[in-house]
Structure 1
Amino acid sequence: MILWFIIIVFSLFASIIIAKNTRKTTKNLPPGPPRLPIIGNLHQLGSKPQRSMFKLSQKYGSLMSLKFGNVSTVVASTPETVNDVLKTFDLDCCSRPYLTYAARITYNLNDLAFSPYSKYWREVRKLTVVELYTAKRVKSFRHIREEEVASFVDFIKQSASLEKSVNLNKKLVKLSGSVICRVGFGITLEGSKLENTYDEVLKGTMEVLGSFAAADFFPIIGKFIDRITGLHSKCEKVFEAMDAFFDQAIKHHLEDESIKDDIIDLLLKMERGEIGLGEFQLTRNHTKGILLNLLIAGVETSGLTVTWVMTHLITNPRVLKKAQAEVRQVIKNKEDITEEVIERLEYLKMVIKEAFRINPLVPLLIPREASKDLKIGGYDIPKKTWIHVNVWAIHRNPNVWKDPEAFIPERFMDSQIDYKGLNFELLPFGSGRRMCPGIGVAMSLVHLTLINLLYRFDWKLPEGMKVEDVDLEELYGLACPKKVPLELVPVLTQWT
């Protein structure tokens, strides 16, 4: 905030001149709050932009105009307006603006998530969907998930025998990272370049990718501001760590020809021209950009989801008891737990949906950019306007959900609402062309992990801690983890 104030003072004279010479637009833009000179509405974002935008939308409407520096933005905050953006006008709203630090981390937007809509993006999307995220492919990695979850359970057993608390934030992210490293990279997390800095690097990457960077809004002085705030150095730090990890994984494949049929093997064949990617010839930077999406999306989605589910269960003893009773009744003293059992766990599926609603992993979807002039909800959306979809606002809207702040899984009973992108009341994975393609990969691990945690263990808070002491606040980034790590004490049961 101090930096924004300095910018205002420094630029006051110029802003007065600009204001006097700016012609009023004749377009019918969505309503929005008043703007300050130069910075526009940036000062109103706060540390949690999704919450600030929701509060502003309650006053200015479900489709709201904001100005971030020299960038015009609209924010969609209700199922109806989001339906327009992600479905009705999806093709015209599915490109991406250029984001300075996302471009750096993704090797100049050679990835899937941040790349603008183009022939290249369509080919990469098809590649990942067909080669990595099909149901058959997800099922083929089942043994890896089971082995890693079994190892995780063994660790929990050891902690339980010692009556020792477990940092679930850390352990669950490491679990999902171990699975993704084996599935996508053909190496184990232990012994890799990220082994000792894994949590720090992933957290930093999400903070950088979710940042409102000055460089994106102030072309002349933005990068200087980001150097002062530390965003530039944080970006370089996480980029170098990720790059070293990718180099290690690729080198491992090049030296060991027995490693076959994972995503790196496929991408290396494309680099050599053995497999085509439409009219495109992949370079090493293309390969690394695609691998980045695989790593961060796969890890954050499953690890953080289980953490938030366990957080809400421990703070809602009634729900925890009910979920455990269902799991134990369905499994009935069996030692081996298979993924198929989730189809019979109706209440647990409701618990997961409610956790997605309360804590959407990506509260603000990656911004989109209008590829042409549009008219949405009676308002003009000029070409190049940035479009933010505030999923958090939809999930907390009292006009959409009764008692939105309360954790009530039963609200999904006899409801057809799901999280697969067809119901705009619940969009943890987005919708339309830009919807996350890895739902199957993430949710298979989420289900298997939760079933084991609820079936094999009882859970309690550390000594001296009460339910009301559990912090429910999130950190802001592209994905939002718990601000305070979840520490729980596992208790051995007769099934452990």
Structure 2
Amino acid sequence: MISQIPFILFITFITLSFSFFLSMKLKRKNIMKTRRLPPGPRKLPIIGNLHQLGNLPHRSLQNLSKAYGDLMFLQLGSIPALVVSSPNMAQEIFKNHDLIFSGRPPLYAIKRFTYDLSSISSAPYGDYWREVRKIVVLELMTVKRVQSFANIRAEEVALMIDRIKSSGRSAVDLSSLEFSLSNNIVSRVALGTTNCIDRGKNNRFQEILHEIQQLAGEFNLADFFPGMDWINKFNGVDKRMKKYFEDLDTFFDKVIEEHVDPRRSKSDEEDIIDVLLRIQKDPFQTIKLKDEHLKGVLVDVFVAGTDTSAATIV
């Protein structure tokens, strides 16, 4: 009799788990029925419409939109999604319903690398986002400040042209050169130095940025099944993220320490970290900015300022 107790407990656990799963499934199904959702393809249990994305999701979405319309509903794992496929529908959503769609999904890698969604591109709409956006618009991206960095841009472009000339008849990797150009410009603008960048070489800092972009763009099961984020502990994703996040954080800590050092020689023009540190000390700030918030803004500056700019130029 006693030996049967573990078996009975096991059967009871399985029965209760199945009953709970079934009740939640039926409840979710009833909720979905009461909603007026846009048309979309039939979905499979558990994975939804993930199997219909294929190796080229943009092509698959284009083909599906031709069949189901400019506004289409997809179930991506446990995540409901709307696919917008026309300029008119995009204008309707982002102009007339902008507050409803103002947020972005907290993707697994993005949340980690933006210091728990502290960057302006990932922060949820609210007081913090409005305050950081105001700082970026009024302090970092003004016409006067952008123009003040014209000499830096001219110097770096001239150096890149010299490197191309020195290559003679040899083949030139423009993608690598443009990435280095963008990286050098952003580094001088943000940090006031080029010491962190080994000109023209794929140095450690560029490797960190590249790996962050790779991890942020890779398929991650936790983005579609948030309850299965534990799997990243076994497939190597968490290990890679921890490694490159610590490297990035160490780099940011170093440059912040250099900027608060009273012995540091200051130039006439403030760099971006100077501006952020000045605002951080302002007692009249609506939201008290921590170092993690500053680092989140710097992630936007470096990742968006280097990769996006280089891709646009090429």
TM-score by length of 2: 0.84
Q: What is the aligned partner in structure 2 of residue 297 from structure 1?
A: 304
Asked if residue 172 in structure 1 is aligned to residue 178 in structure 2, the reply is yes
- Distance, in Å, in 1 between the alignment partners of 2:210 and 2:37 is 36
Asked if residue 140 in structure 1 is aligned to residue 148 in structure 2, the reply is yes
Structure 1 stretches of 4+ moved >6 Å: 13-16
Asked if residue 208 in structure 1 is aligned to residue 227 in structure 2, the reply is no
- Distance, in Å, in 2 between the alignment partners of 1:40 and 1:303 is 36
Aligned to 1:266, which of 271, 275, 278? 275
Letter aligned with residue 285 of structure 1: E
Return the offset for 1:220: 2.7
Return the offset for 1:257: 4.8
Q: 1:298 to 1:69 in 2, by over 3 A?
A: same
Return the offset for 1:170: 0.9
Aligned to 1:35, which of 20, 30, 43? 43
Q: More relative contact order in 1 or in 2 (CA 8 Å, sep 6+)?
A: 1
Q: 1:15 to 1:198 in 2, by over 3 A?
A: farther
Q: What is the aligned partner in structure 2 of residue 182 from structure 1?
A: 188
Deviation string for 1:149-170 (max 9, x for gaps)?
Answer: 000000000012xx10011111
Letter aligned with residue 310 of structure 2: G
Q: What is the aligned partner in structure 2 of residue 350 from structure 1?
A: none
Asked if residue 240 in structure 1 is aligned to residue 246 in structure 2, the reply is yes
Q: Secondary structure at the match of 1:75?
A: strand
Q: 1:77 to 1:285 in 2, by over 3 A?
A: same
- Distance, in Å, in 1 between the alignment partners of 2:278 and 2:21 is 57
Letter aligned with residue 202 of structure 1: L
Asked if residue 250 in structure 1 is aligned to residue 256 in structure 2, the reply is yes
Q: 1:113 to 1:186 in 2, by over 3 A?
A: same
Higher helix share: 2
Aligned residues: 289
Q: What is the aligned partner in structure 1 of residue 77 from structure 2?
A: 69
Q: Is the 8 A contact 2:118 2:293 kept in 1?
A: yes
Q: Is the 8 A contact 1:186 1:249 kept in 2?
A: no
Return the offset for 1:216: 2.9
- Distance, in Å, in 1 between the alignment partners of 2:237 and 2:56 is 17
Return the offset for 1:124: 0.7
Q: Secondary structure at the match of 2:170?
A: coil
Return the offset for 1:184: 1.0
Q: What is the aligned partner in structure 2 of residue 119 from structure 1?
A: 127
Q: Is the 8 A contact 1:15 1:37 kept in 2?
A: no
Q: Is the 8 A contact 2:215 2:241 kept in 1?
A: yes
Deviation string for 1:224-260 (max 9, x for gaps)?
Answer: 1x34544333322332232122122212212315155
Asked if residue 231 in structure 1 is aligned to residue 240 in structure 2, the reply is no
Letter aligned with residue 247 of structure 1: D
Asked if residue 222 in structure 1 is aligned to residue 222 in structure 2, the reply is no
Q: Is the 8 A contact 2:140 2:275 kept in 1?
A: no
- Distance, in Å, in 2 between the alignment partners of 1:79 and 1:231 is 36
Return the offset for 1:267: 1.4
Aligned to 1:197, which of 204, 212, 232? 204
* Percent of aligned pairs with the same amino acid: 39
- Distance, in Å, in 1 between the alignment partners of 2:63 and 2:19 is 31
Return the offset for 1:103: 1.3
- Distance, in Å, in 2 between the alignment partners of 1:251 and 1:195 is 25
- Distance, in Å, in 1 between the alignment partners of 2:20 and 2:53 is 21
Asked if residue 45 in structure 1 is aligned to residue 45 in structure 2, the reply is no
Q: Is the 8 A contact 1:170 1:199 kept in 2?
A: no
Larger Rg: 2
Letter aligned with residue 128 of structure 1: V
Return the offset for 1:49: 2.6
Letter aligned with residue 178 of structure 1: N
Q: Secondary structure at the match of 1:90?
A: coil
The within-5 A match list for 1:83-122 is 83-122=91-130
Q: What is the aligned partner in structure 1 of residue 3 from structure 2?
A: none
- Distance, in Å, in 1 between the alignment partners of 2:74 and 2:19 is 21
Q: Is the 8 A contact 2:197 2:205 kept in 1?
A: no
Letter aligned with residue 185 of structure 2: V
Letter aligned with residue 270 of structure 1: I
Return the offset for 1:293: 0.4
Return the offset for 1:77: 1.3
- Distance, in Å, in 1 between the alignment partners of 2:279 and 2:19 is 51
Letter aligned with residue 63 of structure 1: L
TM-score by length of 1: 0.54
- Distance, in Å, in 2 between the alignment partners of 1:199 and 1:288 is 17
The within-5 A match list for 1:321-470 is none
Q: Is the 8 A contact 1:185 1:262 kept in 2?
A: yes
Return the offset for 1:171: 1.1
The within-5 A match list for 1:4-15 is none
